[in-house]
Amino acid sequence: MIKKYWDKEIETIPLNELKDLQLKRLKNMVKYIYQNNKYYHDEFKELEFKPYDLKKLRDIEKLPFLTKQDLRKFYPFGLVCTEIDEIVEVHASSGTTGKPVVGPYTNNDIDLWGEVMARSLWANGIRKNDRLQNSYGYGLFTGAHGFEKGAEKIGSMVITISSGNTRRQVNLMKDFSSTALACTPSYSMYIAEVAEEMGYDPINDFNLKIGCFGAESWSDEMRKNIENRWDITAHEHYGLTEIIGPGIISECEEKKLHINADHFLCEIIDPDTNETLNPGEEGELVFTTLTKEAFPMLRFRTRDLAIYIENKCNCGRTLPIQSRIIGRSDDMMKVKGVIVFPSQIEDALMKVNGMSDNYQIIKTTKSNITSLSIEVEPTEIRYRDGHLEDLEKLAEKEIFAILNLNIPVKAIQPKSIPRSTGKAKRIIQR
């Protein structure tokens, strides 16, 4: 029999049973951190909260949030709840905006990570006979390691190429007959560009069928472009170093992002008032890990905005769904009182025939007033046709339709924006 789900029992669990399981695990976890970590112990004491005060799931709202700043305060191992000797692997964020966020794992945490990643990749359609080209950067960053652990658990072949050396990526993809590609969405487009320069046709000259993309936000239009460019199905992955890395969600064949909620409890809050919102409302995602040992997170504020939904999906999974990330609060820009996310601009640009996926948002702030302009590369063919002002006008019109803002667009020479083998730099401060 063909196995549709990686873990049928959990992935199709009735919602009330899931909530019972979450409550049982949350009680254990709250007791565990109270007993094993001084910071949590003191915080609970100050709030006069005892672990047995937690009687229903919503009692979690009595507990404090954890922010990135808190994690930095306890850098590197202050929030660890096991003996340091129990830690067998450590990852960290790049730390471009301060001290890196550290992700320590026990043996059980590593098992858990492999399990949720296998569930995610299985939901994408990865099977034992697949060959996954793992083009996320190997290193401290969680990405590559999470994909490797999950794919190996399924039994797929993992091609551990890491990111960069793009011509070699193309050669190995051809020679090893890779069927799946894992990397940032923008890097997948760059690999296609290089493949074309090398004289290949990305659709007909490779065996690629599935893309597992994450670590940067990308619009629905970008997803369509990637799928058409390679003739593949492109799946979204969402992860955070603080929670476990990739593996928080499993995107199914309906392209719905099912939260692996037996391990990660999701709340949605109003980022301004901190109030808990109802399913269906847009707000900030807040995660609590239910089963992690070394570095459990209680009510971690992700700064990512999305919608949380509890409806059953056509794929048969009952695990709750989060919408695609509407925007990161950190990337949010305010222009003339209008909230702007880079993904909205990307969506508008991708709607214009003749535009490529290479663009940059130029952000200028003068006496506290922010203004934006866009530089975007047309496709080579469109660039040679000339009359670029027509193209610019079309793009400005699409942006106005979404944001009700006049943002000037400049079409620039193809291949003039530097390419990235990891996260693309979309916002330039000038």
Chain positions contacting Zn ion, by CB under 5 A: 252, 254, 256, 313, 315, 317
Residue whose CB is less far from Zn ion, 190 or 308: 308
Q: To the nearest whole angstrom, how small is the minimum distance from the Cβ of residue 375 to Zn ion?
A: 38
CB 23 to Zn ion: min, Å:
24
Tell me the closest approach of the beta carbon of residue 255 to Zn ion, in angstroms.
Answer: 8
Q: Which CB atom, from 313 or from 417, has the smaller least distance to Zn ion?
A: 313
Encoded amino acid at 162, one letter: S
> What are the φ/ψ torsions at residue 227 (nearest 5 degrees)?
-60, -40
d(CA 5, CA 272): 38
Which DSSP letter does residue 352 get?
A: S
Q: Which is nearer to Zn ion, 237 or 382 (CB)?
A: 237
CA angle 3, 247, 182 (to 5 degrees): 85
Question: Smallest distance, Å, CB 184 to Zn ion?
Answer: 24
How many Cβ atoms are within 10 Å of 48's Cβ, its own excluded?
A: 8
Q: Could you tell me which of 167, 177, 132 has the C-alpha nearest to residue 150? A: 132
Torsion angle of C-alpha atoms 280, 317, 232, 116, degrees rounded to 10: 100
Q: Which is nearer to Zn ion, 236 or 331 (CB)?
A: 236
* Cα distances (angstroms) measured from residue 195 to each of 181, 189, 190, 203, 413: 14, 10, 9, 10, 20
Q: What is the closest distance, in whole angstroms, from the C-beta atom of residue 317 to Zn ion in the complex?
A: 5
The SS3 assignment for 34 reads: helix
Mention every residue, 6+ apart, whose C-beta is less than 8 A from residue 397. none
- Reduced to 3 states (helix: H, G, I; strand: E, B; else coil), residue 92 is strand
Nearer to Zn ion, 265 or 313 (CB): 313
CB of 260 to Zn ion, least distance (A): 13
Which is closer to Zn ion, CB of 5 or CB of 74?
Answer: 5
Min separation Cβ 237 and Zn ion, Å: 15
What is the smallest separation between the CB atom of 7 and Zn ion, expressed in angstroms?
Answer: 14
Neighbours of 81 (CB within 10 A): 21
**Total residue count of the chain as it appears in this document:** 430
Among candidate residues 382, 372, 300, 297, the one with its CA nearest the CA of residue 333: 372
Q: Which residues are CB-neighbours of 334 under 8 A, at least 6 positions away?
A: 340, 370
Task: For residue 365, list its beta bridge partners.
Answer: 370
- Residue among 197 and 254 whose Cβ is closer to Zn ion: 254
Task: State which residue, 254 or 380, has the beta carbon closest to Zn ion.
Answer: 254
